[in-house]
Amino acid sequence: MTRHHFNIIGFIINCTWIALFIKNPAMMWILLGLAGLLFLTFLTIGVVTPSNNYFLKQTTKLTTDKVLLTFDDGPDETLTPEILSILKKYDIGALFFVIGKKAEKNPQIIQQLIEEKHKIGNHTYNHPNLFALYRQDKVEKEIGLCDNVLIEQTIHPGNYFRPPIGYTNPRIARALKKFNKKSIGWSLRSYDTLLKEEDKLLYRLTSRIKPGDIVLLHDNLSLTATVLESFITISQKNGINFVTTKELNTILP
Ligand SMILES: [Zn+2]
């Protein structure tokens, strides 16, 4: 946490202390309410914005001016191959955060990812939505099981991890240390899980993309697969360079 984080926490604690010693009950509740609201806002922003590095240090930007595409929640039997053919056409190398149980069902796509020189990251075995509330042993089990699926397919599970929903906590930080993995966040969230229209998704991506971005997309969504090629070509016309399969090894060793 930065000094900025400690200042906010200090302010919240002070508000709470003043509130407890104040004689006017209405004022006391206002101050306590304010402290509570600030705490919740701070926690929510900290947790959902990976660049805040709230609980653990995550990579959220590249040190080059290239753009890295990341795809979560696959592999999907039909959509991942569609996405792969578009990436191949433009020689773009991407990082795929796979869900262990889907990787187990689609070993041929995992092989294709490797053959086509993309990188694979661990996105847990079950993708539990309440992962951030899991005990230490369950956190480690989720990460270990996903690694094991890849190892059984004779694939090195790699050093990269992305927590489901992007939430982090000290237990996840400890588990990553144990597995020697690095957490990769993002600087551009596509919101492809929420947006329903192609135009809106394409506009969001092409209007916000900047050199050095790590883009969060999902390879299990047909909207993403539909928009991907236009996103790539428009961005390239606007001077954006995506990481190539060759550059992927230097960027993600
Ligand atoms: Zn996910």
Q: Are residues 129 and 13 in the same domain?
A: no
Q: Are residues 88 and 200 in the same domain?
A: yes
Read off the pLDDT of residues 4-28 as tens digits, 9 standing for 90 and up: 555 667 767 766 777 777 777 787 7
183 Cα to the center of ligand 1, angstroms: 13
Task: Kindly report whether the global pTM for this prediction surpasses the value 0.85.
Answer: no
73 Cα to the center of ligand 1, angstroms: 5
DSSP per-residue letters across 125-175: SS--TTGGG--HHHHHHHHHHHHHHHHHTT----SEE--GGG---HHHHHH
Q: Are residues 7 and 105 in the same domain?
A: no
Per the prediction, the chain carries an average pLDDT of: 90
Is residue 160 domain-resident?
yes
Mean pLDDT for the stretch of residues 45-62: 73
User: What is the set of active-site residues?
Assistant: 72, 218
Q: Are residues 149 and 241 in the same domain?
A: yes
Read off the pLDDT of residues 57-84 as tens digits, 9 standing for 90 and up: 889 999 999 999 999 999 999 999 999 9
22 Cα to the center of ligand 1, angstroms: 46
Q: What is the pLDDT of residue 65?
A: 96
Is residue 173 domain-resident?
yes
Please give the C-alpha separations between residue 98 and each of 18, 27, 29, in angstroms, as whole numbers. 49, 51, 47
Is residue 17 domain-resident?
yes
Q: How many domains does the chain have?
A: 2
The burial of 128, by beta-carbon neighbours within 10 Å (0-12 exposed, 13-18 middle, 19 or more buried), is given as middle
Distance CA 232, CA 89 (A): 11
165 Cα to the center of ligand 1, angstroms: 5
* 201, two tokens: 């998704």
Q: Are residues 155 and 188 in the same domain?
A: yes
CATH number of the domain to which 180 belongs? 3.20.20.370
Is residue 185 domain-resident?
yes
72 Cα to the center of ligand 1, angstroms: 5
Domain range for residue 39? 3-48
Q: Are residues 100 and 216 in the same domain?
A: yes
Q: Is the pLDDT of residue 53 over 70?
A: no
220 Cα to the center of ligand 1, angstroms: 10
Q: Are residues 20 and 118 in the same domain?
A: no
Q: Are residues 43 and 70 in the same domain?
A: no
Is residue 67 domain-resident?
yes
Is residue 127 domain-resident?
yes
Q: Are residues 116 and 218 in the same domain?
A: yes
Q: Are residues 106 and 39 in the same domain?
A: no
* 24, two tokens: 């006017």
Protein residues within 5 Å, CB atom, of ion ligand 1: 72-73, 164
pLDDT tier for residue 138 given thresholds of 50, 70 and 90: very high
143 Cα to the center of ligand 1, angstroms: 13
Is residue 54 domain-resident?
no
Give every CB contact of residue 163 below 8 A, 6+ residues apart in sequence.
124, 131, 132, 172, 183
127 Cα to the center of ligand 1, angstroms: 6
Is residue 53 domain-resident?
no
Q: Are residues 126 and 164 in the same domain?
A: yes
Q: Are residues 63 and 20 in the same domain?
A: no
